[in-house]
Amino acid sequence: MELQQRQESMRDYDTVRRTTCENMCETGCGMKIFVKDGKIVDIFGDDEHSQSKGSLCPKGLASFQHIYNPIRVKYPMIRETLDDKFRRVSWDKALDFVAERMKATAKKYGPEALYIHRTGRSSMGNKWGGARFGKLFGTPNIFGQGPICTESPGIATNYTFGAKDLGRLMNPSQDWVNSKCIMIVGSNMAACEVITFRWVLDAKERGAKVIVIDPRFNATMAKADIAMRLRPGTDAALTMAMANIIIREELYDKKFVNKWVKGFEEWAEECRKWTPEKAENVTWVPKETIIEAARTFAQNTPSQVTGNLGTAQVYNSININRCYVGLLALTGSIGVPGGGWNWLHNCRPPISYGNPLKKGRTYPHPKRPPLSDKLVPWGDNSAGGILNPILTGKPYPIKGIIWNGNLMAQLPNVNKFKKAMKNIDIAVHLSIHPNLTYQHAHAVFPISCWVEREGLVHHGNNRLMQWYNQIIEPLWECRADIDFWAGLADRFGWEEEFPWRKEVTEKDGSNGWRIDKRKMTDWFNSLEPMTAGCMSDVLDPEKNPPGGIMWPCYSRKEAVFDKKHNATVRGKWIMYEDEPYPESDPPQRFPTPSGKIEMASDELKNLGWDSVPIHREPSETPIASPNLYKKYPLVLSTGRLVAHFHEMGHWWPWTSEVEPDRFIQIHPRVAKILGVEDGDIVVAENDRGPIEGPAWVSEMVDPREVWIPEGFDEVQPFHPYESVNVLIDDIIKDPVYNQPQYKCALIRVYKKGNDPDDAAGKVYNFIKKEFPEYDTDVCLGVYAERKLTE
Amino acid sequence: MEFGVKKFELEGREARITEPGSTNQVAMFVDLDRCVGCFGCEVSCKLEHDLPVGPRRMRVMQIGPKVAGGKLMTLYLPMNCMHCEKPACVEVCPTGAMQKRSDGIVFVDEKICIGCKSCIIACPAGSPQYNAKTGKVTKCDYCKDRVDAGLWPSCATKCAMKALSFGNINELSTVTREKMARKFGEMFFAEKAENLIKINDRGVKK
């Protein structure tokens, strides 16, 4: 008998439902859920899903424990002050409490004092609902996940390729097998987007070269042909050195560059300054590797670049991303199968909160500007900038917060944030787990998980929109987050603005309502032409082929498979082919002012940023902050683990077991100097605070570097640790889009109980002795050598 | 590094040479080029067998990175059970709970197991695990209920990287052979294409 790889459960079940993994990462895998008497008994992958082909990662599998988790937040609760105990109330009572406090706050401090933050892991209903409510309320401080996550690559490509909003993604991962060279930068894709990484391995088996650029020798790098372990934040220097070689050796596609690239000569001039020797000194990558990578990338076409947060969460983010565009443009691999700029994550179409529906109503115009100092006048506001106003009341105070997820642990400078939270009059948390953010709230609402509601899987990789179906009745008193926003709107007299209601019978038999997610989604999606064809029934994997639709999709008629490319997902398969870009006016392939890929951007110059991308040294680095470096001689970089996504995973036994610790990863040579053995408790600290954790002594990191995973907080049930973001500064940001610099900071590490100054001194002397002096002839960022107590 | 591969190749050869009649031997194949250590197999095993924290029938080990040939290398190795030809766990089991089936699967009958843990001590590969919830030993049995229903084990079915595959020991060489053939094919076509370009463009590639 031939044994089969079939997604079939051995458990007793009566129904199999098809849905999509909603929001554990951006891959959006197909799921088959096995149900018995209305209870989920097993989870498998969906083998008919073009992207995931029946596989699931540990998060998708362990989400089985997420659903019926006894430590989930089950009921709405309120308290007068943060020192009181929570008391359980009904949804209506809790909403009344919130509305009353918000009215009082707005009366005293103005509506601008309300800060709304919708995280990336929340549902699309929360994003639409929160923005719409905030607009009605009159606050400009409606924040999104974008600038704290990885939206700056989208901003950078907006100015180079000219797409509307965040038009960054070109070729879907299913197409990557046509690539001859894949360059992965700033992303541990093998851990963070496991299923997507499979397409890289498939390409590799078909002969593609894989180049990985990251500060750590991680799982992705373990599969690379060429691994480049660089100093965090120096991608631009590395890329320009590669471009220098490609241009010098005339390995680039001259025809493409002449026809389609503006500012090539100016950028080439800048690149010439970056000899492989200089780049080795600044970036830590050996010059031989830089030369080999440059030749490999240019000679194995079509080549493509993909990447993620590592290029976003640093000071020079916009230039770094434009440099990668430059490298790709040199190969001409744009708009062809196997090519493209295929960034992961947060790839959403322009979203609209819609105008008011009631006749004669307009959104009030906020009297004060949003709390943000980014140069780009559009896009989300970055939460990095909210902390000081809360703490100091300047330029104006923030007194109310509505947020979700675990932002207290995810935002930079956690200890400072804890202090600031004492100034808040009303903090509302839309909760899944009683995490650190929950502990700092006055009112909490239990939010349903993805099998208890239906909705849009909204910012998948590959410009993908998908649908997830409701499988079971909501547990306890959980409701979708959009039901919170609509309920709150009712208390301000804005019922008509959230009209998509359906009647339900509550568990106590009374009549109630919930938002009809299909009606709501269709209404919002039809507001944006690019998603007007992504209607809920077209997306539904139980009604149509699973895998969703790749926007832009302007009508139902366009929701079909692109036959030319043998597409396995409906919608637009490849962007920027040699044809006019959708909605471009005048019609042109690259909808920039010049109609070309702009390596020299007048628009960015007018905003006050570099016209041509160059390397700008991030703040808090050995080069930018030599005095601080003597005190804190190690470079910190942070990232995510495979079994967790922010708070998700840490609250489930299975995923906590496989990756329990918020370790502090140091190189064996540094460990020897510090007298630290693998597993010893060490302290990592800078002026912003100390954190403790077990040392993982490993050659994954450079001797000059420390790596610590994010997503932990000290109230998590199984392995409580403080968040690594205690060490991250809230002021240092990318000036153009205000991405906080999560990926780069200076710290010192010592064995718990030992003298910190002594340990730091030893490490500093070791680095001085063993490694060359840095070339200081580089451009510095504006935050260089600032006082960190500001 | 080749430990997993060699083991299976060796077992395969042995099966073919020493037991010509025995063609139903099943085994799991690990493609070490594809495993990224995502722990998906560990969690799918927990889900399939409803296991608490503690016993890990499947476990992914990371070895390295170590410098080899001037380069850093890391190996991710999923380790469940070797399903040995002469299993030490079966030999030491006092009750006969630990058994080997004719298709090669070594499993524990939890109804008979008294939880004495002898097998845990005897096993050279650390496969049998103690389940404090049941007070019995639990170990990888290749999801024998699934195998009996004609299905792959849960971990291989759900493997994110398609690194795990399962089947008759002699069929498994096909997986390696196919992969090798694909590589040769790519090289062959690339060479042909290169020549064509050279001929067409008279030696000018771009």
- DSSP string of A425-465, one letter each residue: SEEEEEESS--TTGGG-SEEEEB--TTSS-EEEEEETTTEE
**CA dist., res. A67 & res. A230, Å (int):** 40
CA-wise closest residue to B165 among B157, A153, A488: B157
- How much is the mean pLDDT over chain A? 93
Residues B7 and B37 grouped into a single domain: yes
- Token pair 């399939």 is found at B48
Q: What type of residue sits at position B21?
A: G
Tokens of A205: 């088996």
Alpha helices (H) along A172-310: 189-192, 194-205, 235-248, 254-260, 264-272, 276-283, 287-299
Query: To the nearest whole angstrom, how far is the Cα of B92 from the nearest Cα of chain A?
Result: 30
Q: What type of residue sits at position A441?
A: A
Name which of A640, A654, A702 to mutate to probe chain B: the one with the most chain B Cβ atoms within 10 A of its Cβ.
A654
**Sites in chain B below the pLDDT cut of 70:** 1-23, 197-206
Q: A346 near A151, Cβ under 8 Å? A: yes
Tokens of A186: 């700033």
Per-residue pLDDT of A580-635, as tens digits, reads 998 888 999 999 999 999 999 999 999 999 999 999 998 899 999 999 999 999 99
> Max CA-CA distance within chain B?
78
Q: Do B43 and A217 touch (CB under 8 A)?
A: no
The ranges assigned to domains in chain A are 77-96+108-149+349-446, 170-342+576-607, 616-780
Residues B2 and B102 grouped into a single domain: no
Higher pLDDT, A217 or A786: A217
Element of type H or E holding A350: none
Lowest mean pLDDT among A12-21, A242-251, B61-70: B61-70
CA angle, A324 then B186 then A220, to 5°? 40
Range of the domain at B120: 82-139
Residues B54 and B27 grouped into a single domain: yes
Q: Which residue of B has its CA nearest to A11?
A: B48
CA A701 from centroid of its chain's CA atoms: 23
Check CB contact of A54 with chain B, cutoff 8 Å. yes
CATH placement of domain A77-96+108-149+349-446? 3.40.50.740
Residues B69 and B114 grouped into a single domain: no
Per-residue pLDDT of A252-296, as tens digits, reads 999 999 999 999 999 999 999 999 999 999 999 999 999 999 999
**CA dist., res. A592 & res. A598, Å (int):** 7
Tokens of A477: 């008193």
Using a CB-CB cut-off of 8 Å, the residues of chain B touching A58 are: 38-40, 42-43
Count A/B contacts: CB-CB distance under 8 Å: 152
B86: domain CATH number? 3.30.70.20
What is the tally of structural domains in chain B?
2
> Residue A335 — left, alpha, or beta (φ > 0 → left; ψ -120 to 50 → alpha)?
left
Let me know if residue B190 belongs to a domain. no
Name which of B24, B32, B42, B43 to mutate to probe chain A: the one with the most chain A Cβ atoms within 10 A of its Cβ.
B43
Q: A254 near A285, Cβ under 8 Å? A: no
Asked casually if ipTM beats, i.e. exceeds, 0.90, the reply is yes
CA angle, A489 then A491 then A492, to 5°? 70
pLDDT of res. A287: 96
Those of residues 1-20 in A touching chain B at CB distance below 8 A are 1-8, 10
Tokens of B84: 């040995």
Let me know if residue B186 belongs to a domain. no
Q: Which residue of B has its CA nearest to A698?
A: B65
Q: A191 near A172, Cβ under 8 Å? A: no
Return the half-sphere exposure (C-beta side, CA atoms, 13 A cut-off) of residue B112: 11
Name which of B25, B34, B36, B102 to mutate to probe chain A: the one with the most chain A Cβ atoms within 10 A of its Cβ.
B36
Residues B75 and B101 grouped into a single domain: no
**CA dist., res. A73 & res. A433, Å (int):** 5
**CA dist., res. A659 & res. A117, Å (int):** 29
**CA dist., res. B186 & res. B182, Å (int):** 6
A364 DSSP assignment: P
pLDDT category of residue A2 using cuts at 50, 70 and 90:
confident
Check CB contact of A357 with chain B, cutoff 8 Å. no
Comparing CB atoms, the residue among A42, A57, A201 nearest residue B38 is A57
Residues B76 and B161 grouped into a single domain: yes
Using a CB-CB cut-off of 8 Å, the residues of chain A touching B158 are: 7, 44-45, 54-56, 61
Residues B5 and B55 grouped into a single domain: yes
- Token pair 């006969």 is found at B96
**CA dist., res. A626 & res. A68, Å (int):** 52
Residues B8 and B44 grouped into a single domain: yes
Q: For chain A, first and last CA: distance in Å?
A: 71
**CA dist., res. A191 & res. A734, Å (int):** 26
Q: A536 near A521, Cβ under 8 Å? A: yes
Residues B135 and B146 grouped into a single domain: no
Q: A267 near A328, Cβ under 8 Å? A: no
Per-residue pLDDT of A626-660, as tens digits, reads 999 999 999 999 999 999 999 999 999 999 999 99
Let me know if residue B119 belongs to a domain. yes
Check CB contact of A284 with chain B, cutoff 8 Å. no
Tokens of A544: 């149509």
Per-residue pLDDT of A123-182, as tens digits, reads 999 999 999 999 999 999 999 888 888 888 889 998 999 887 776 678 999 999 999 999
Per-residue pLDDT of A382-392, as tens digits, reads 777 889 999 99
- CA distances (Å), A780 to each of A147, A416, A624, A755, in order? 22, 26, 6, 32
Let me know if residue B183 belongs to a domain. no
Element of type H or E holding A524: helix A517-527
Give the pairing of strands A681-686 and A745-751.
antiparallel
**CA dist., res. A91 & res. A93, Å (int):** 6
Q: Which residue of B has its CA nearest to A27?
A: B160
Query: To the nearest whole angstrom, how far is the Cα of A407 from the nearest Cα of chain B?
Result: 26
Given a cut of 90, whether residue A379 has pLDDT beyond it is no
Let me know if residue B149 belongs to a domain. yes
CA-wise closest residue to B158 among A191, A6, A17, A15: A6
CA angle, A611 then A615 then A621, to 5°? 140
**Domain closes at, from B121, B139, B157:** B139
Interaxial angle between packed helices A287-299 and A317-331, expressed in degrees from 0 to 180 and rounded to the nearest 10: 50
Polymer length in residues for chain A: 790
Residues B13 and B105 grouped into a single domain: no
pLDDT of res. B12: 34
Check CB contact of A42 with chain B, cutoff 8 Å. yes
Higher pLDDT, B69 or A755: A755
pLDDT of res. B1: 30
Q: A74 near A80, Cβ under 8 Å? A: no
Return the half-sphere exposure (C-beta side, CA atoms, 13 A cut-off) of residue B200: 8
Tokens of A588: 């042109």
**CA dist., res. A323 & res. A327, Å (int):** 6
What average pLDDT does the segment A568-586 reach? Answer: 91
DSSP, collapsed to helix, strand or coil, labels residue B115 as coil
Let me know if residue B20 belongs to a domain. yes
DSSP, collapsed to helix, strand or coil, labels residue B195 as helix
**CA dist., res. A539 & res. A534, Å (int):** 6
**CA dist., res. A509 & res. A511, Å (int):** 7
> B65: cis peptide before it, omega within 30°?
yes
What residues pair up with A114 in beta bridges, in sequence order? A400
Q: Do B152 and A4 touch (CB under 8 A)?
A: yes
**CA dist., res. B98 & res. B112, Å (int):** 9
Give the torsion sign (CA, A742, A747, A751, A752). Answer: negative
Lowest mean pLDDT among A40-49, A69-78, A189-198, B12-21: B12-21
Given a cut of 60, whether residue A374 has pLDDT beyond it is yes
**CA dist., res. B12 & res. B3, Å (int):** 14
pLDDT of res. B184: 83
Which superfamily is assigned to A170-342+576-607 in CATH? Dimethylsulfoxide Reductase, domain 2 (3.40.228.10)
Fold of A616-780: Barwin-like endoglucanases (2.40.40)
Give the pairing of strands A181-185 and A303-307.
parallel
Q: A105 near A113, Cβ under 8 Å? A: yes
pLDDT of res. B15: 33
Query: To the nearest whole angstrom, how far is the Cα of A297 from the nearest Cα of chain B?
Result: 15
**CA dist., res. B62 & res. A640, Å (int):** 17
A592 DSSP assignment: S
Query: To the nearest whole angstrom, how far is the Cα of A201 from the nearest Cα of chain B?
Result: 7
Residues B110 and B147 grouped into a single domain: no
**CA dist., res. A476 & res. A481, Å (int):** 15
* A288: Cβ contacts below 8 Å, ≥ 6 apart: A276
Q: A560 near A570, Cβ under 8 Å? A: yes
What average pLDDT does the segment A681-695 reach? Answer: 96
Residues B19 and B75 grouped into a single domain: yes
Give the torsion sign (CA, A392, A396, A399, A405). Answer: negative
Q: Do B165 and A255 touch (CB under 8 A)?
A: no
Let me know if residue B206 belongs to a domain. no
**CA dist., res. B107 & res. B109, Å (int):** 7
**CA dist., res. B36 & res. A200, Å (int):** 12
* A773: Cβ contacts below 8 Å, ≥ 6 apart: none
Q: Do B47 and A195 touch (CB under 8 A)?
A: no
pLDDT of res. B20: 41
Let me know if residue B182 belongs to a domain. no
The pTM of the full predicted model, rounded to 2 decimals, is 0.93
Q: What type of residue sits at position A2?
A: E
Tokens of B6: 């060699």
Given a cut of 70, whether residue A245 has pLDDT beyond it is yes
Q: A232 near A246, Cβ under 8 Å? A: no
**CA dist., res. A373 & res. A625, Å (int):** 23
Alpha helices (H) along A562-705: 602-607, 626-631, 653-658, 668-674
